[in-house]
Copies of this chain bind each other. A is one copy, B any other.
Amino acid sequence: MRDVAEATNLSVATVSRHINGSIKLPRDTMERIDSAIQRLNYRPNPHARSLSLGRTESIGVVIPDIANPFFARLAAAVERAAAAYGLGVMLCATLNQKERELDYLQRLARNHVDGLIFVTNRVDDGEVARAINAAKAVVVMDEDVDGTTASKIFADNERGGALAARHLIAAGHRRMAYLGGAASLMSTRERLRGFQSAIDEAGLDPALTAGFFGSYTIAHGLEAARAMLDAPEPPTAVFAASDEIALGVLTVCRDRGIRIGRDLSLVAFDDVGPLDLFDPPLTAIRQDVDSMGWQSVVRMLDAIKGEDHQAAPQRVPVELIVRASVGPPVR
């Protein structure tokens, strides 16, 4: 910048102000500066700017695993929204480990980025919550971290559970299974609550629905599917609380010759994989990932500006996508 100043016989102050648009210069002065910038191929140093300004014009997104399609799409949505607001995105994969969550919270909360969009998949023991509350601008997305005062963006899990149950009940199912993630995870609990409320609403016996809890993984889907099918009275329909769990169910059924949609009905949750290409195409509750990503950035901007965030978590609507994995109950 000094070179530009010297080349134009101006001070760095003037050059700086012009670059940042905080001043309106006579046309020819402007042109002189611009051409010097071109000629010298000058690029501002963002770290000097950050150091001086105390902000970085970038945000961090902390996510369990980018290779998981759901989180990948979430990260993509955040990135797109951030780019639209001129913000860079620092990507942090925690592999769902507490240590890494805390590490990023520390490294990033302090100066490295202006704010953090935080997505976890674990149950916190309070330590992460403390770190989040100590950080400046954090938006908690997708899964709650208990005891945090941050802005929050969640799917309407409860309604999703209810939509799934109503669809299954309408097809005639009574004996059902719910395959959730960790039992203490907000999303798992809410999806279950919605599911049960629809059962109540229909006047059915809630005791006929069994719950299997573990994690939002294919591995848990495999395990839970086996346990469920090996029970003395197996269900005629299952609601998998994530795409991944549904994939596990699909695999077990294929191995055992159980035809989904005929011998067993299945509704998934997330709808980010190409579920329409599976065998059979899977009916699912779809999360609006793009909207969640976008809104998290908007909330983040508010938080950075120090606007007092709304107290209540924002709920993003979900939708039932009917395909071919639900049929009437057999047996």
A interface residues (Cβ-Cβ under 8 A, vs B) = 43, 45-48, 50-51, 56, 58, 61, 65-67, 69, 72-73, 75-77, 79-80, 83, 88-93, 95, 100, 106-107, 110-112, 247, 250-251, 254, 273-274, 276-280
Asked whether A45 lies within 8 Å of B110 as measured between CB atoms, the reply is yes
B277 and A43 form a contact (CB under 8 A): no
- Check A43–B73 contact: CB distance below 8 A: no
Residues of B within 8 A of A247 (CB): 274, 277
Complexed CA–CA distance, A51 and B53 (Å): 13
A217 CA / B274 CA spacing, docked (Å): 13
What residue of chain B has the Cβ atom nearest to residue A72's Cβ? B72
Partner of A76, one of B56, B67, B90: B67
B58 touches A90 (CB 8 A): yes
The majority secondary structure among interface residues of chain A is helix
Partner pick for A51 among B48, B69, B83, B274, CB 8 A cutoff: B48
A47 touches B56 (CB 8 A): yes
B66 near A79 with CB under 8 A, answer: yes
Considering only CB atoms, which chain B residue lies closest to A280 in the complex? B279
Which residues of the partner chain B approach A90 to less than 8 Å between Cβ atoms? 58, 88-91
Cα A250 to Cα B42 with chains together (Å): 51
Contact assessment for B278 and A277 in the assembled complex, using a CB-CB cutoff below 8 Å: yes
A172 CA / B190 CA spacing, docked (Å): 54
Q: What 4 pairs across the A-B complex have the smallest Cβ distances?
A: A279-B279, A72-B72, A67-B76, A43-B110
Listed by A's residue number, 27 A-B pairs whose Cβ atoms lie within 8 Å are A45-B51, A45-B111, A47-B47, A47-B51, A47-B56, A47-B112, A48-B51, A51-B51, A61-B91, A66-B72, A66-B73, A67-B77, A69-B69, A79-B91, A88-B90, A88-B92, A88-B107, A88-B112, A89-B92, A90-B91, A247-B274, A250-B277, A251-B276, A251-B277, A254-B277, A273-B273, A279-B279
Q: Are B58 and A66 in contact (CB under 8 A)?
A: no
Least CB distance from A62 to B in Å reads: 12
Nearest opposing residue in chain B for A94, CB measure: B83
Q: Which residues of B contact A58 (CB under 8 A)?
A: 90
Across-interface contacts of A80 in B (CB, < 8 A): 93, 95
